[in-house]
Amino acid sequence: MQIPKQALLLRIFIGEDDRFEGAPLHEAIVLKAREMHLAGATVLRGPIGFGASSRLHTTKILRLSEDLPIVIEIVDSEAKIDDFLPVLDAMMSSGLITLEKVQVLQYGLNKPD
């Protein structure tokens, strides 16, 4: 699989407790992205953050939160990301989705010496 040099970065901000059809939303998003043959997805768990409610979510001992911030990043062609957005919209009830143009320098295996 190839990604064009000029691609899009889809970044999805949700909470760890967010669900879709009984499963963790971040897992459902990654599985759907894989099913739709997107180039790849990475899930990042944040130690602290807040969103629209301004409620602080943190891993600090005195303010232990089970709903930590989750960021999912997906890079692929504009066409594939555009096809994925309506599916993503149907899966999410809250959160933040951003898009930005990126330049892909390398994807896949390292070149042999």
Whole-structure pTM value: 0.86
What tens digit of pLDDT does each residue of 65-112 get?
A: 567 899 999 999 999 999 999 999 999 999 999 999 999 999 887 666
Give the DSSP letter string of 13-82. EEETT-EETTEEHHHHHHHHHHHTT-S-EEEEE-SEE--TT---EE--GGGB-SS-EEEEEEEE-HHHHH
What tens digit of pLDDT does each residue of 23-35 get?
A: 999 999 999 999 9
> What are the chain's domains?
6-96 (3.30.70.120)
